[in-house]
Amino acid sequence: MSSLTLVYEDELVKIYWHEQHSYFLSDWQNVFRKGDDLRRAYKACIDAAKTRPGSPWLIDASKYAVVDVADGEWIAKVFWPDFIKAGARFQAVIPPQKAVGKMSAERSSGTLTKQETLQSTSHTTRAEAEAAILEWRAKQRNK
């Protein structure tokens, strides 16, 4: 973890900048939060994306907890569009391991299929997700 710089931390998520490979890592924790507490963590991702528009994200949601239905709707309607406006273009995701986390993540990311500007890939490990980020970066350089 020596090439990771912590840019945000609360009980729900830790956001790092990977110095060597130039991507954000959001490490979601197994903590249930709702309302303003949950939204603050998501807004931190938007704020981080604004600092380096176009940078890829490794989203480790393997420990992701259940999300309240109202918050899931907010994530779908507000977070994803704002995250994309902030400059997010590619994310390599490690999906939740628990069934309830998977259902929450699927419900709140349903609008992503309509978004053409954010590419998303799914992986089982951070190493696989990082490899996908490096491959994406290489393709971007060759365009």
Provide the residue-wise pLDDT of the chain in tens; the chain has 143 residues.
569 999 999 999 999 999 999 999 999 998 888 899 999 999 999 999 999 999 999 999 999 877 888 988 899 899 999 999 999 999 999 987 754 444 444 544 555 545 567 898 999 999 999 999 999 999 988 87
CATH number of the domain enclosing 32: 3.30.750
Residue 95, class by beta-carbon neighbours within 10 Å (0-12 exposed, 13-18 middle, 19+ buried)? middle
Predicted pLDDT at 107:
46
Predicted pLDDT at 19:
95
Residue tagged 């992701």 (tokens): 64
**Secondary element (H or E) of residue 73:** helix 69-74
Number of domains in the chain: 1
Name residue 101's amino acid: G
Tokens of 83: 């995250």
Residues of the domain holding 31? 4-141
